[in-house]
Structures are given as C-alpha cells and as structure tokens.
Amino acid sequence: MIEPRYQELERKDISRGESENVDMEARVIAGEALGVASPVYTLTPTMYVDFTMRPGSRLHQSVLEGWNAFIYVIDGDGVFGRATATAHYCLVLGPGDGVSVWNRSTRPLRFVLVAGQPLGVPVVQHRPFVMNSRAEIQKAMEDYYYGKNGFERAGQWSSSAGSARREADGTKLNLPCRGIHGAVLAQPPGPSPLSRCPSLKPRHDGCSSRPPPTARCPRPGLPLTTPPQIYAPACPCP
C-alpha cells in the first residue's frame, strides 16, 4: 500500500505533438509520443495517448517489449497491424515492440493507445474493491462499513453532477442512508426515492456481540442491510 496522491490535468495542459508533415496529432496524457512527453507522474511506466490521423497517413508507435497494451477506436476506421477496426472497437495487442497504423479511409481516424508495464502481482476483486489479497479486500470492506481510512464521508457524500443529470432526466437522486455501523439502507420497491436517515446507535449486548443482521430505519419501510458476509468485523464500541 502507498499513500494516496492526486494529479489534475486539464484539457489545456495536455501535451500535444504533431508529425513533421502535420498529418497526425497526439495528445499525450501519459508517457511519450511524437517526441512529446506528458507531465503526469505514474507509479509504474504507463502510456495513454489520444491519436488523430488524417486520411492516408501512417504511424508506427513504439511500445516497450513485455508491456500490456490495447487500442480503442473512437472515430473512423483504420488498419492496425493486420487487423481492421472501426469506431467503438477495442483491440488487445499481442507481443511486440510497437504497433503500425494506417488510416486508409477518407475521413480522420481517432483512437487511444493505452499501455503499461505489468505489475506482476496477484489481483483479488470483490464488487467495487480491487486489492492484492482476500485479507486486503476484507480490510477495505471493513473500512467502508465503519466509515474510516478514507470512507469517513461516504454516508453523507452525493454527486452534484449526478444530481444535475438526474434532474435533467426527470428523476430524483437516491441518497444513501446509514444506520448501524454505517450500513447502507437498501432501495425499497416503489416509486418513492430513498432519503437520508438519522444514524442508529449500535444495538449490542456489550462489545462481544456483532451488529444484528437486519434493523429498521426510523423511516418506516426502509430495510437496513449489513455488509457482505465476507468478513467478521470487530466491534468498534468503546
């Protein structure tokens, strides 16, 4: 585990490169292409480049041997090595030291190339959590359940952008409701949106017992669910 860090890269700050005859452009989000490097720091070597190629142009982009890489076509169609792909197709690259691209169509070709050095570590995934071991998954779920180690505001957070989109679509934002040990209330059936609920105190018979499997929110009809039974969290009561 490492300390969290954050980098913000606005559109105006993305490095841009062009070929000598200006028949293609690369917006370099990470890594290097067309002689231009991105200012973004990545923990492991990574390449993320947005290419736009004019009709008839050709490109050979180097990718280090042993890296995993894929291409996603955003618009147009082109020849990638021996494969032809059109918009919204994804191509996973095989072993090699790069990829050759030819825009044989009569309109611009735009695609992203994403590549990186394999981490070589085990991957364990459970729902939205992705870690390196089952024990780390259990710890992450426990942190979320109890609202600690970065999840302190999880029960009160909502997306203003998401709310605006839902209002534009004529729907309301369903807000999470936290109760016993930060458990999240499930969405009840019916058209009524879920609203916030005051926190409930843990109903324990001393700290030796665990939270009950179900409880009730003060708002009637909203069942309270416990987290997935992949772990047995310790009681946080003083």
Same domain, 94 and 188: no
Identify the pLDDT of residue 171. Answer: 55
pLDDT at 173 over 70: no
> Residue 57: which of 15, 18, 113, 94 has the closest Cα?
18
166's enclosing H/E stretch is helix 160-168
Same domain, 107 and 182: no
Does 167 reside within a domain?
no
Does 1 reside within a domain?
no
pTM, two decimal places: 0.61
Q: How large a percentage of the chain has pLDDT more than 70?
A: 69
Give 213's pLDDT tier (boundaries 50, 70, 90). very low
Choose one of 86, 116, 146: the last residue of a domain. 116
Average pLDDT, the chain: 76
Does 3 reside within a domain?
no
Does 20 reside within a domain?
yes
Identify the pLDDT of residue 235. Answer: 45
CB 216 within 8 A of CB 222: yes
Does 141 reside within a domain?
no
Choose one of 116, 136, 165: the last residue of a domain. 116
Eight-class DSSP state of 156: T
Q: What is the CATH number of the domain that holds 57?
A: 2.60.120.10
**Structural domains in the chain (count):** 2
CB 140 within 8 A of CB 129: yes
pLDDT at 24 over 90: yes
Tokens in use for 11?
């559109």
> Residue 138: which of 230, 36, 45, 18 has the closest Cα?
230
Identify the pLDDT of residue 91. Answer: 96
Does 108 reside within a domain?
yes
* pLDDT per position as a tens digit, 65-93: 999 999 999 999 999 999 999 999 999 99
CB 123 within 8 A of CB 129: no
CB 185 within 8 A of CB 222: yes
- Looking at the DSSP assignment, which residues form a beta bridge with residue 224? 185, 215
> Residue 86: which of 98, 75, 100 has the closest Cα?
75
Same domain, 21 and 110: yes
* pLDDT per position as a tens digit, 34-72: 999 999 999 999 999 999 999 999 999 999 999 999 999
Which residue range is the domain that position 65 belongs to? 11-116
* pLDDT per position as a tens digit, 114-172: 999 998 999 999 988 899 999 999 999 898 888 888 888 877 777 777 777 667 766 55
Does 50 reside within a domain?
yes
Does 210 reside within a domain?
yes
